[in-house]
Amino acid sequence: MAIRIDDWFEAVGLPGTIKTASGWEAVATWPSDRQIPINLEAEMSLPRMARIRDRAFLAGHDQWADSIAEKMADIMVPWPADEPHFVKVEEATGEISCEGMDQREWQPAEFVALAKGFRRPDGGLDVDEGHRWIDSQYAGDDDLPDPPDEPKEKPESSADDPPGITPTPYEWRDAESIPPRQWLYGHHLIRGFLSLTVAPGAVGKSSLMTVETLAMVTGRNLIGDAPPKPLRVWTWNGEDPVDELARRLQAACINYGIGKEDIGDRLMMDSGRHVPIKIATTERNGSKISTPTVKALVKALASAKIDVLIVDPFVTSHSVPENDTTAINEVVSMWRIIADATNCAIELVHHVSKAAALDSAIGIYGSRGAGALIDGVRSARYLAKMSEIEAANFGIEQPDRYFRVQDGKVNLVPASKASWRKMIGVPLHNGAGLWPNGDTMGVCTAWEPPDAFDGVTPSHVQDVQRAISSCDQPPKASERAADWAGYIIGDVLAMDLGRGLKKEQRTAAQNMARAKVRRIMAQWLRSGALVTEATRDSRTGRDVEVIGAGDPMTDADIKGVS
């Protein structure tokens, strides 16, 4: 008997794989003449089928939907014991054959009739009965008589009957024997799981993905994290053409000093314009998983031995409504199954809603569309542009070049503090013809906010306290005042704050110095080195807030460390 691998036999195993004595093996790696002994009754028992239900669905016949595991289990368990248990893979035709039987492609109804024992009076297979059994499975009503060789009658089932579920007793394991989680990049990408990056447009997410990809394929720490070893990465961009992807990549290589030999054969890059990937579509009756696409994708990931797949953006990998929770859940579930089946980490890159683009405080839940996307991934992070308040605190003149990477949802590790990134321009020197200037590409780099307390010692805070105490009138807390207390701090630290100048008149260095002084003063107020007091202004007759000297501080007190 020959059963096409993409139609029936694969439905009871992993996609593109089959169970052998040594475990699941990829069919794509077999020689065409390989024969594998299997015991159908032992290997395909109902409890085992229940455990591989999700994987069985991935490779199953479309009409059998997500219940294929249970239904195929019902067929496979009573397989005649005297039938041969050797299979042969024909790589060229994609067929698996059982040795010793006629080498033709059996129809599904014939397959069912043989397994269920449906026979005509003359002893031949009752194919019509096989068709009726299949029809009853689609309808959810199996009222067919039991096979003749089964002495006990089965109760009638209906669509309301729940599927068979068998609890699995826990087998005690020593903690030391449990394999560790395989983190591939920081605490964001983990083998066998989905991760998500959410960002507004034009923030630098594609460049961040590019630099992180280079870090993974080279095994180097470029912007804060390094992989455990050089990884094989496939980046798939559903929007941009290949040339644009190459510009972005080569600019990053120039900035980080990466050569061809550093990458080797570990980087795969495709554009959705030439290699479309749609794992789900919308049809008249709703959304539908594209099983052929999923199978092709699984085979590609397995054959290329991909460690990390980056899908940018997620929306281009399907065509279901973004706000349809059920449809998005099906798409995310399928990506999760693919990650598990191929044992690779998959990064989905997604956009934020219009509201979230204007307010980064919304965070990860500003992700566009249904929340099922966030709920279905293991790790999620969001990118936020530097706000005007943050820019003022850091003394940054061009905040549009900066963004922060913030953990939005990490199920396997504690959330970490935000990491900052800065976009810089890198020229490609590719000018030619009518475009002599060539291209300058944005490249993502690591950036640390300036430490306001660099160079600050206990003697400085003591000098500030003495200077404030010696003033005839306490200095004002307001930065708009001519006698702002920050000017005293600036004088003690020998910093030019642009006293008396408006913001647009001050230099970038002066604005940065003022930002540093604001942060120092705020910390000293929190720690008690300085205190605020209310006093009446003799000129206006109103109460104003002034700054006074607090208790003498130690080095630890300066930074608020108790």
Q: How does residue 115 score in pLDDT terms, banded at 50, 70 and 90?
A: low
Mean pLDDT is lowest, of 113-117, 194-198, 199-203, 389-393, for 113-117
| Most confident residue range from 25-29, 74-78, 495-499 | 495-499
Is the confidence at residue 64, as pLDDT, over 70?
no
Q: Compute CA distances 8 → 56, 284, 361, whole Å.
A: 10, 26, 50
In tens, the pLDDT along 315-340 reads 999 999 888 889 999 999 999 999 99
User: Which pLDDT belongs to residue 344?
Assistant: 95
Is the confidence at residue 100, as pLDDT, over 70?
no
Q: How does residue 221 score in pLDDT terms, banded at 50, 70 and 90?
A: very high
CA neighbours closer than 13 Å in the CB half-sphere of residue 402: 19
Q: How does residue 558 score in pLDDT terms, banded at 50, 70 and 90?
A: low
The span from the CA of 311 to the CA of 72, in Å, is 33
User: Which pLDDT belongs to residue 456?
Assistant: 86
In tens, the pLDDT along 26-41 reads 444 444 444 433 333 3
Is the confidence at residue 552, as pLDDT, over 70?
yes
| Mean pLDDT computed over every residue of the chain | 76
| Pair 377, 332: CB distance under 8 Å | yes
| Most confident residue range from 58-62, 82-86, 228-232 | 228-232
User: Which pLDDT belongs to residue 508?
Assistant: 81
Better pLDDT: 57 or 377: 377
| Pair 394, 519: CB distance under 8 Å | no
Is the confidence at residue 423, as pLDDT, over 60?
yes
Q: Which two tokens stand for residue 481?
A: 């005042």
Better pLDDT: 525 or 557: 525
User: Which pLDDT belongs to residue 409?
Assistant: 63
Q: Residue 444 burial (CB < 10 Å; 0-12/13-18/19+)?
A: buried
User: Which pLDDT belongs to residue 78?
Assistant: 38
The span from the CA of 322 to the CA of 310, in Å, is 19
The domain defined by 458-558 folds into: Arc Repressor Mutant, subunit A (1.10.10)
The span from the CA of 508 to the CA of 22, in Å, is 66
- The single residue listed with the structure tokens 């973004």 is 322
Q: Residue 301 burial (CB < 10 Å; 0-12/13-18/19+)?
A: buried
User: Which pLDDT belongs to residue 129?
Assistant: 84
Is the confidence at residue 202, as pLDDT, over 70?
yes
Is the confidence at residue 403, as pLDDT, over 50?
yes
Q: Compute CA distances 506 → 492, 497, 498, 503, whole Å.
A: 20, 8, 6, 5
CATH class of the domain comprising 183-447: alpha beta
Sequence ranges of the domains in the chain: 2-139, 183-447, 458-558
Is the confidence at residue 276, as pLDDT, over 70?
yes
User: Which pLDDT belongs to residue 361?
Assistant: 59
Is the confidence at residue 536, as pLDDT, over 60?
yes
The span from the CA of 285 to the CA of 62, in Å, is 14
